Copies of this chain bind each other. A is one copy, B any other.
Amino acid sequence: MISERCAACKNQRRKCPSDCIFSPCFPANDPQKFACVHKIYGGSNVGKMLQGIPTYLREQAANALYLEAKWRIHDPVYGCVGIISSLYEQIQNAEIELAKIQTQITFYKLQTQRIEAEPNSEVLQAQSSNMEQFEWDNPTIASWFN
Binding site for B on A (CB under 8 A): 40-42, 44-45, 49, 52-53, 57, 60-61, 64-65, 67-68, 72, 76-84, 87-88, 90-91, 94, 97-98, 101-102, 104-106, 108-109, 111-112, 115-116, 119-120, 124, 128, 144-145
Contacts and interface: CB of A to CB of B under 8 A. Distances in A.
Contacts of A44: 42
Contacts of A76: 49, 52-53, 61
Nearest to A65: B79
Contact of A57 (B68, B77, B108): B77
A68 B53 CA distance: 18
A101 B112 contact: no
Nearest to A85: B64
